[in-house]
Amino acid sequence: MSITGLRAFHAVARAGSFTRAAANMGISQPTLSSQVRLLEERHDAALFDRKGRGVALTPLGQKLLDITTRLFAAEEEANALLEGVRTVRQGHLRLAADSATHAMPLLARLRARSPGLTFSLRIGNSSTVLDDLVDYRADIAITARPSSDPRFAIRLLRRDRVVLFAPSAHPLASRSSVPLAAIAGTDLVIRERGSVTREVFETALAERGITPGTLIEVEGRESVREAVAAGFGIGIVFASEMPAGDGFRAIAIADAALDVAEYVACLAARAQVAMVRSFLDLVSDGEV
C-alpha cells in the first residue's frame, strides 16, 4: 500500500476538495488527483463521491479516514519523540473546551510564548470534549469531568464553584446568597445533559428533595445567559464564568459547597507532541 496515496486521500478528505487539499500540500491538483485515483484503482475502491468542485466521503472512505487520522497522528507523535523538540514555533493546535472562559487565557499565554502558532477552539460540554480527543478532532481538552481512563493524561487546571445568576429585577437578585431550599418552585434555565454544571446542581437538589419550578433546557452557556436575560428563570454557572454586565446578579448558595474542578486533558500517547506539551507546560508552570 502506498503511503503517498494514503496521505493524498487524507488531505482531500480533511479539506473537502481536491483544490484546497492540493494548495495545502503545495502540489498541483492533477498530481494529487492522480495519487488518489491510483489508490482507488489499485484497491478497486470508491473513496469519494465527486460533487462539482467538492467531494464527499463514501462509507468506505469514512472508515479509511478514521484509520488515516490515527496513522498520521501516530507519525506526528513519533516525530516529536525522535526529534526531542523542546520549543515549538509553528503549527496548529486544536482545542476543545467546555468553556471559552477557561481556554482563552491559556491560549493567549501560549501565543505569547510561540507567536507562530495558530489555534482552533471547539466549545462543547464536559463529555463531548473528551470524545473530541478520542476521535482526534482535538489535541487538548478542557473539561470539568475527571476521568480515570488510562488513554488520557489529565492535569488539574483550577477549582471553581457553582453559583446562581439572575436578572437584577428577579426576586432573588437582591440577595447575595440563598439557601438551596430557595430554589423550590423557582424556574431554572439549565444546560443540556452532559454538562457537569447541571449534574452537580441536580444532584444537590435531589439529595435535599428540592423540586424547582419549570426547567428550561438550552445548549451552551451563551444560550443560558440569553434565556436568563429574557426572563425564563435563574441560571447556573461557574463563578469564574459569571456573565459580565449590570443586568445580572450573582447569588451564592449558602448551605451547599458545589465545588467543581476544571482539568486539562490530552491523549496520553500524544503528551510528547511539541504543541501539546507546550500547552501542558503552561498548567505545570502555574500560568493560569
Condensed to tens digits (0 to 9), the pLDDT of residues 152-202 reads 999 999 888 889 999 988 989 889 999 999 999 999 999 888 888 888 899
Distance CA 213, CA 230 (A): 17
pLDDT (0 to 100) of residue 51: 76
| Backbone φ, ψ for residue 235 (5° rounding) | -110, 170
The model's pTM is 0.62
- According to DSSP, residue 235 is labeled E
* 159-258 and 3-83 share a CATH fold: no
pLDDT of residue 288: 43
Band of residue 205 on the pLDDT scale cut at 50, 70, 90: very high
Taking the C-alpha atoms of residue 23 and residue 10, their distance in angstroms, rounded to an integer, is 14
CATH topology (fold) of 3-83: Arc Repressor Mutant, subunit A (1.10.10)
Q: Any idea which fold 91-158+261-284 has?
A: D-Maltodextrin-Binding Protein; domain 2 (3.40.190)
Is a pLDDT exceeding 80 seen at residue 76?
Answer: no
Q: What is the CATH number of domain 159-258?
A: 3.40.190.290
- Does the pLDDT of residue 287 top 80, yes or no? no
pLDDT score of 166:
92
Span 78-128, pLDDT tens digits? 766 665 454 556 678 899 998 888 888 888 888 888 887 888 999 888 888
Mean pLDDT of all residues belonging to the chain: 86
What residue spans define the domains of the chain? 3-83, 91-158+261-284, 159-258
Sign of CA dihedral 162, 167, 170, 176: positive
Give pLDDT, residue 237: 86
Task: Give percent of the chain above pLDDT 90.
Answer: 37
Q: Is the pLDDT of residue 133 over 60?
A: yes
pLDDT tens by residue, 221-266: 888 889 999 999 999 988 888 866 668 899 999 988 788 889 999 9
Note the pLDDT of residue 257. Answer: 78
For strand 188-190 and strand 215-217, is the pairing parallel, antiparallel, or unpaired?
A: parallel
Please, is 226 exposed, middle or buried when counting C-beta atoms within 10 Å of its C-beta (0-12, 13-18, 19+)? middle
Tell me if 125 sits within 8 A of 191, measured CB to CB.
yes
Alpha carbon of 101 to those of 98, 121, 124, 194: distances in Å?
9, 12, 13, 18
Q: At what angle do helices 29-42 and 18-25 cross, to 10 degrees?
A: 110
